[in-house]
Amino acid sequence: MILTAYNGVSIPSFMYGTAWKKQATTRLVLEAVTAGFTAIDTANQLIHYEEALVGEALQALARQGISRDRLFLQTKFTPANGQDHRTPYDPTADLTTQVQQSFDSSLAHLQTDYLDSYVLHGPYQRRGLGAADWEVWQAIEGLYETGKVKMIGVSNVSAEQLALLCERATYKPMVVQNRCYAALGWDKDVRELCRAHHMIYQGFSLLTANREIFIDPDIRAMAARYGVGIAQIVFRFAMQIGMLPLTGTTNPQHMKEDLQADRFTLTPDELHRIETIGL
């Protein structure tokens, strides 16, 4: 199954996330692709990601006959307030230059001449969008216009901020990636904006942000009914409500199991129960 954004570009329906993998990044990306993942998410942010090690994995995969064009590669521009001293750009430069330098650095790390998706890691402020956000977004739009990236998007964004982007940007985001809490209706307001504007919603921390649902008797009963794990129930729910889930599992068996989440279908009542479980 694939998902298609409003600009006609498609993306696989499940993505492997590489945050927090450190020196194991190369091995884990290889294991994820071997298990069947064809979409990889990373960021040019050394606090949480090892983007260059994703590039090493891509080279190893190419030697195995899995070429770059068979994979969907997404990375991010992380503002200086989300970096430590190892910024992949000159932090004293203007923001447009920072975006270009970070993008060029990502291409070098990943040993590729194009990206499938390039994402602003988060706005510069908690509420609204300021001058910095607009300058960075315009720089990202400029990269999209060069053809070196097929989709652009934003992460860690509120519904208010996303609505502003949709209203005023030259190009609306094509993907939106947020941490997804059951207690907040699985980010319902942002998901509804994505649905209305034909943007692809990517949900991360679906398991780690919602540990309480693992003990819910209804969820456990669903897992027993379908003969699957609770993680597969959560990922299948996400897919059925139009979300692209990310998983960051480091267990090769779990990678395979996660990818089998599309082999059963939850009923409308079950979907409603999960969607309202934390409310």
Residue 276 lies in a domain: no
Q: If we measure between CA atoms, which residue out of 21, 3, 153, 11 comes closest to residue 75?
A: 153
Could you read off the pLDDT of 189-241 as tens digits, one per residue? 999 999 999 999 999 999 999 999 999 999 999 999 999 999 999 999 999 99
Using alpha carbons, list the distances in angstroms from residue 26 to 44, 55, 88, 163, 236: 15, 8, 20, 37, 27
- Look at the chain and report how many structural domains it folds into: 1
> For residues 18 and 41, what is the distance between their CA atoms, to the nearest angstrom?
6
Structure tokens at 238: 């996400």
> For residues 160 and 204, what is the distance between their CA atoms, to the nearest angstrom?
20
Give the domain CATH number at 68: 3.20.20.100
Residue 74 lies in a domain: yes
Residue 83 lies in a domain: yes
> For residues 203 and 155, what is the distance between their CA atoms, to the nearest angstrom?
10
Residue 185 lies in a domain: yes
Q: Domain containing 124: what range?
A: 2-209
> For residues 11 and 72, what is the distance between their CA atoms, to the nearest angstrom?
7
The Cβ of residue 260 has, within 10 Å, a number of other Cβ atoms equal to: 14
Structure tokens at 254: 């779990």
pLDDT at residue 49 tops 80: yes
Using alpha carbons, list the distances in angstroms from residue 157 to 13, 24, 82, 119: 21, 29, 14, 11
Residue 269 lies in a domain: no
Could you read off the pLDDT of 230-276 as tens digits, one per residue? 999 999 999 999 999 999 999 999 999 999 999 999 999 999 999 99
Residue 232 lies in a domain: no
DSSP state of 5: -
DSSP state of 130: -
Could you read off the pLDDT of 108-166 as tens digits, one per residue? 999 999 999 999 999 999 999 999 999 999 999 999 999 999 999 999 999 999 999 99
Residue 237 lies in a domain: no
Residue 187 lies in a domain: yes
> For residues 230 and 208, what is the distance between their CA atoms, to the nearest angstrom?
12
Beta strand 200-204 with 175-179 is parallel
